[in-house]
Structure 1
Amino acid sequence: MEKDSKTTVAVERTTFAKLDRLAKANSVSKMEYITHAINYFEKYGINPVEHESPAQEMQKLIKRMDQVFAFLKKQETDLVRPAC
């Protein structure tokens, strides 16, 4: 079995500085950090190019759930009559 060969990727200095800071903060090498980040994006279907933040997506989901609960509450008051 052949070992994985390594390669280099050119990035801007500011991007390299961010990568260095993030890798150090997580106590991993830059290579490990990039590997984990790519695996994370792939596993969860996140496309970082679209710039959708997870917080925005959560807000959309919460809003939709609130709509469903409001619908159920309305149905309950309209259709379920208290037994008297």
Structure 2
Amino acid sequence: MESTKKPNTTIAISQQDLKRLENFVRKKGLSKKEFITVSLDFFERTGLDPAKHESPKAELEKVIKRIDQIVAFIKTQDKETLRPSFEAIVSSEERIKNDLSKILKIEHFNEFIRGFNSFAMETKNSLKLLNQSNHNEH
């Protein structure tokens, strides 16, 4: 049976980097080959470019700093805009409710009309009686 496995290749690195690599992979429990594969997977998955980006820690610190700025902005908006607006709305609502309680309501208006009609009828009757008594005197 013929093997479909491709032969390994070699990579030339300095003796100093070789020692660093050997120490690193020993600490992590990886072979040098596994390290290359895992490293490539990591950089492809995260999109980090070790030639352009600082350490992932520095990149995360930038993101955290930006998030902190956004949170500070939201807190400022809450303190300077949202809370005062909310308090103004609540205050206005209370004033409106208070003012509405003072406004003539339909029940009061109907009661006024009934009283006025009663007064008008009494006045009309009084005027009739007055006219009749004046008429009878002449």
Please indicate the TM-score interval, normalised by the length of the shorter structure.
0.7 to 0.9
Residues 29-57 of structure 1: per-residue CA shift (max 9 Å, x gap): 11111211111111111111125111211
- State which of 56, 79, 83 in structure 1 corresponds to 2:82: 79
Specify the structure having the higher radius of gyration (Cα): 2
Q: 2: distance between equivalents of 1:16 and 1:52?
A: 22
Q: How does 1:51-62 map to 2 (within 5 A)?
A: 51-62=53-64
Q: How does 1:1-84 map to 2 (within 5 A)?
A: 2-77=4-79, 78-80=81-83, 81-82=86-87, 83=90
SS in 2 for 1:6: coil
Cα–Cα, structure 1 residues 51 and 79, in superposed 2: closer, same or farther, change >3 Å? closer
Q: CA deviation at 1:62?
A: 1.5
Equivalent AA in structure 1 for residue 32 of structure 2: K
Give the match for residue 118 of structure 2.
Answer: none
Equivalent AA in structure 1 for residue 49 of structure 2: N
The unaligned stretches of length 5 or more in structure 2 are: 92-138
Q: CA RMSD in A?
A: 1.8
Query: Quick one: higher RCO (CA 8 Å, sep 6+), 1 or 2?
Result: 1
Q: CA deviation at 1:79?
A: 2.6
Q: CA deviation at 1:21?
A: 0.7
Identity over aligned residues, as a percent? 36
The number of residues matched between the two structures is 84
Q: 1: distance between equivalents of 2:18 and 2:9?
A: 16
The TM-score, its normalising length taken from structure 1, stands at 0.83
